Amino acid sequence: MNQNKLTFQSENLVVDYISFKFQYLDNFTQTEIANYLLKLGFNSYQESGKLAKPRKESILVSFQNKCEVIFVADNPYWNGTMLHFSGLNAFVFYALV
């Protein structure tokens, strides 16, 4: 049987958005994730999901890092925290995975 190997590149697909939902994410675990992502080149920020125009608040930031990840908390539709990579940030994260 001949199987085709499908990849994002072979199908001209681009990763534009990746998110992970956590039902419960305590501060210690969030800091551990942010530290890990900082080492990979991602600055970490936090936003409230309840605000119409959320403000990004720094969690861990290094001027050397070019990518970012957003921790979205206080979502009005579900309990928990979302780890959100968008645009080029999602593409870079996917390439690392």
pLDDT in tens, 44-83: 999 988 777 788 899 999 999 999 999 998 877 788 899 9
44 vs 42: CA distance, rounded Å: 6
What the block records as the tokens of 84 is 């959100």
Residue 42 lies in a domain: yes
Query: What is the three-class DSSP state of 90?
Result: helix
pTM above 0.85, yes or no: no
Domain of residue 53: give its range. 17-96
58, 45 contact by CB (below 8 A): yes
How would residue 3 be classed by pLDDT, with cut points 50, 70 and 90? low
Domains held by the chain: number: 1
Q: Is residue 32 in some structural domain?
A: yes
Instruction: Please indicate, yes or no, if residue 37 is contained in any of the structural domains.
Output: yes
